[in-house]
Amino acid sequence: MRVTGPERYRLTFNANDFEVTCKNGTPRFSGIANSKKPKLYIASIDEAPIYVGVTKQPIRNRLRLGWSAKGETGYYGYAWRRGLTEANLDIWCHEDAPVDNPTLDVETVEAEVVFLIRCAGQWPPYQTEIHFHPSSAVHRDLAASIIQRYVGLPFLAPPSHKG
């Protein structure tokens, strides 16, 4: 399982619209964010994940769907677009996904990442859906390496030394 990333973007938003800024300060997505390959993405605030998702669409298209949904089909869009105004968005891409079920591995990693967040104390506050599949050491190891970038999780905080 070959995964590239993360690429980080800054999102500013309200309930109806979002703007993106890349690491170079430009207002657009690039690189793996534009790929149609399976991607795992994590929205975070102060390095604490608030939402973990997967998509095969370019990220802008996926976010547009999450911002425009009104619930007609049972999907109400991203809950985190209401009440928050900014977040980081980190994206990883599965470069060698199998053709017959391309999102299976990233969905499995998604579940393992969310599980690790839950083990740190609580589910991501805006997580509304997750796909569960049997995992292997590859999925669990990748999830552990992904979650290490988020210092906002209690289990990643340096131990306190009382003396």
Instruction: Show me where the domains of the chain are located.
Output: 3-150
Look-up: residue for tokens 């890349």?
22
pLDDT at 22 over 90: yes
pLDDT at 108 over 70: yes
Tens of pLDDT, residue by residue over 40-86, are 999 999 999 999 999 999 999 999 999 999 888 988 999 999 989 99
Q: Residue 153: what pLDDT?
A: 62
Amino acid at 31: G
Provide the b/e sequence for 118-145 (b: ≥16 CB within 10 Å). eebeeebebbeebeebebeeebbebbee
How much is the pTM?
0.91
Dihedral sign, Cα of residue 27, residue 51, residue 155, residue 147: negative
Query: Which candidate, 19, 128, 95, places its Cα nearest to that of 9?
Result: 19
Spatial separation of the C-alpha atoms in residues 138 and 128, rounded to whole Å? 25
| Phi, psi dihedral angles at 113 (to 5 degrees) | -65, -50
